[in-house]
Chains A and B, each alone.
Chain A
Amino acid sequence: MVKSRFLLAVLVGFLVVIGVGSPAYAAVANACTPIEVKLGTCSVGSIENGEAVIRGDQNNGGGGGNNGGGNNNDGGSGDGGNSDGSDGPGGIDTGMMCTGGAICLPDLVTLNDLARFRPNAPSLSMEPDGWLLIGLPANFIADTSRHMQTGILFDVPIEVRFTPASYNWSWGDGTTSRTSVPGATWAELGLPEFSPTPTSHVFAETGVYSVTVTVAFTVEYRAVGRAWMSIDGTLSAPAVTIAALAGDAKTVLVDKECNRNPNGPGC
């Protein structure tokens, strides 16, 4: 179990060694968060017979102590612990849990491991807004961007980063397509209305269509503060659907608009 893990991060003791402030009042120094104090895994020294005694051997049954040379306060410099999490000179037994002072992740994280992390769904819009003309391109835009989630994997706080990679469109008329771009408005593209775009679609018949986009994201993860690691494959966000009324010029421009505005021109 332990061998299958590799040490990704951090020996708190190391931080202590490089992070000790003014030596004037740092006779006994050890990084401690309130949570570590609560758990009793914090090494608080006491003065006995004129010598500093470091209590780093508490074990709360799994939390483990801090592994790192930084717990040495004998005047020498700590060695920062061993990067593989093993015991060594200056180290304190972690109980081989890879926690308490070190962050360990398995060396092979798969998409299955990250199943609890799901990229955010995009928002889907179209122009014209909610209707289209048969025979002319309607333009669809999936609004999404790279985003991050924080959570816990194998007891380790991690960050997962999703980057949109491809957009799978189901046009509702039996056809599908895949694009590498999310789409943009005609105005943003500098095109006149009803121009073809990478994410436009032409519908041949009148009716109401449900257009669905599913965005596939590439996935990276890291133990907090460490380098990003990528994972093979992609994760898809929940599909998003938009309904569009397809008509000819008369049914759409006159009939539909007359429903909205009975006093409009041509009604």
Chain B
Amino acid sequence: MLRRTFATTVALFVGAALVACTAAAPKPTPTPTSTTVFASEEEALAAATDTYAKYLAISDAVSADGGREPERIRPYVTEAFWLTEAAGIGGLVSAGYRTTGSSSFDQTTMANLEEGAITVQLCLDVSQVRVLDSGGADVTPDDRVDRAPLEVEFEVSVNPVTLSIAKSDVWSNQDSC
């Protein structure tokens, strides 16, 4: 155990020394990010995009099942956001609705990157999703906004690196998407 700790310490030290050497190079390139988890903004955005894609797929699965087994969503969201998520699921279950079709998102851009948090803006596209009542009739609201501009904040935890959705706010008018 001690030996392992020692080895890790040595590895970290050597790693730090290498980084120091790199940083001391004549033309140091300032990193565009303050977070130490991701090497670059692109990497953080990729991680956020990947997490959101998985989350959205699970969200589609839960709503397709009429809100059954909502806990499937839980691994993707923070404790606080789970409250918001649960409220939406409650609305679905209460109405006896389910959905068909898949959601998608595009125009994902980085809005803010800081230690422990990534905020992206994206367009959530639900145009391919229909809402059905318990009898199978299409009850999708006529005035539903099919492309919603959302600002999604991810909480970043390390060891292992995990992104959890902490916020999902409409951030602009619908014309943005």
Segment 40-79 of A: residues with Cβ below 8 Å from B: 40-47, 52, 55, 58, 60-64
What are the interface flags for A24-54 relative to B under an 8 Å C-beta threshold, 1 for contact and 0 otherwise?
Answer: 0111111111111111111111110000100
Q: Are A28 and B84 within 8 A (Cβ)?
A: no
With both beta carbons as reference points, the residue of chain B lying nearest to A44 in the complex is identified as: B145
* B145: chain A residues within 8 A (beta carbon): 37, 40, 42, 44, 55
Q: Are A28 and B170 within 8 A (Cβ)?
A: yes
Q: Which stretch, B25-33, B34-42, B62-70, touches the partner chain A?
A: B62-70
* B168: chain A residues within 8 A (beta carbon): 31-34
Segment 125-177 of B: residues with Cβ below 8 Å from A: 126, 129, 131, 133, 139-141, 143-145, 148-151, 153, 167-175
Q: Are A45 and B174 within 8 A (Cβ)?
A: yes
Q: Are A12 and B87 within 8 A (Cβ)?
A: yes
Given contact pairs A38-B63, A99-B87, A63 touches B172 in the complex (Cβ within 8 A)? no
Q: Are A63 and B97 within 8 A (Cβ)?
A: yes
| A202 located at the interface, meaning its Cβ lies under 8 Å from any Cβ of chain B in the complex | no
Q: Which stretch, B2-10, B16-24, B43-51, B75-83, touches the partner chain A?
A: B75-83
Q: Are A44 and B93 within 8 A (Cβ)?
A: no
Q: Are B170 and A39 within 8 A (Cβ)?
A: no
Complex formed: what's the CA distance from A194 to B145 in Å? 72
| A245 located at the interface, meaning its Cβ lies under 8 Å from any Cβ of chain B in the complex | no
Q: Are B124 and A34 within 8 A (Cβ)?
A: yes
Q: Are B90 and A100 within 8 A (Cβ)?
A: yes
With both beta carbons as reference points, the residue of chain A lying nearest to B96 in the complex is identified as: A62
| B106 located at the interface, meaning its Cβ lies under 8 Å from any Cβ of chain A in the complex | no
| B113 located at the interface, meaning its Cβ lies under 8 Å from any Cβ of chain A in the complex | no
Task: Pick the residue among B60, B87, B126, B148 that contacts A100 (CB under 8 A).
Answer: B87
Task: Pick the residue among B112, B131, B171 that contacts A60 (CB under 8 A).
Answer: B131
Complex formed: what's the CA distance from A58 to B112 in Å? 31
Q: Are A97 and B131 within 8 A (Cβ)?
A: no
| B91 located at the interface, meaning its Cβ lies under 8 Å from any Cβ of chain A in the complex | yes
* B92: chain A residues within 8 A (beta carbon): 35, 39, 63
Total contacts A to B, CB within 8 angstroms? 193
* A21: chain B residues within 8 A (beta carbon): 112, 119, 151, 153, 167, 169
Q: Are A40 and B90 within 8 A (Cβ)?
A: no
* A42: chain B residues within 8 A (beta carbon): 145, 148, 170
Q: Are B139 and A35 within 8 A (Cβ)?
A: no
* B133: chain A residues within 8 A (beta carbon): 61
Q: Are B95 and A63 within 8 A (Cβ)?
A: yes
Residue with the highest number of chain A CB atoms closer than 10 Å, among B95, B119, B126, B170? B170
| A219 located at the interface, meaning its Cβ lies under 8 Å from any Cβ of chain B in the complex | no
Q: Give min CB distance, B126 to chain A, whole Å.
A: 5
Q: Are A225 and B88 within 8 A (Cβ)?
A: no
Complex formed: what's the CA distance from A27 to B112 in Å? 16
Q: Are A33 and B85 within 8 A (Cβ)?
A: yes
Given contact pairs A33-B85, A225-B86, A26 touches B139 in the complex (Cβ within 8 A)? no
| B71 located at the interface, meaning its Cβ lies under 8 Å from any Cβ of chain A in the complex | yes
| A155 located at the interface, meaning its Cβ lies under 8 Å from any Cβ of chain B in the complex | yes
| A208 located at the interface, meaning its Cβ lies under 8 Å from any Cβ of chain B in the complex | no
Q: Are B93 and A155 within 8 A (Cβ)?
A: yes
* A103: chain B residues within 8 A (beta carbon): 83, 86-87, 90
* B129: chain A residues within 8 A (beta carbon): 38
Residue with the highest number of chain A CB atoms closer than 10 Å, among B87, B95, B151, B175? B87
Complex formed: what's the CA distance from A34 to B128 in Å? 13
* B59: chain A residues within 8 A (beta carbon): 33-35
Closest 5 CB pairs of A and B: A40-B144, A62-B95, A40-B141, A63-B91, A150-B71
Beyond the given A62-B91, A150-B71, please list 16 additional residue pairs across the A-B interface where CB-CB is below 8 A: A10-B84, A12-B84, A21-B112, A21-B153, A25-B171, A29-B171, A33-B59, A33-B88, A35-B59, A37-B150, A46-B173, A60-B139, A62-B95, A99-B87, A150-B69, A157-B86
Chain B positions within 8 Å of A, measured between CB atoms, are: 55-56, 59-60, 62-63, 67-71, 74, 79-80, 82-97, 99, 103, 111-112, 119, 121, 124, 126, 129, 131, 133, 139-141, 143-145, 148-151, 153, 167-175
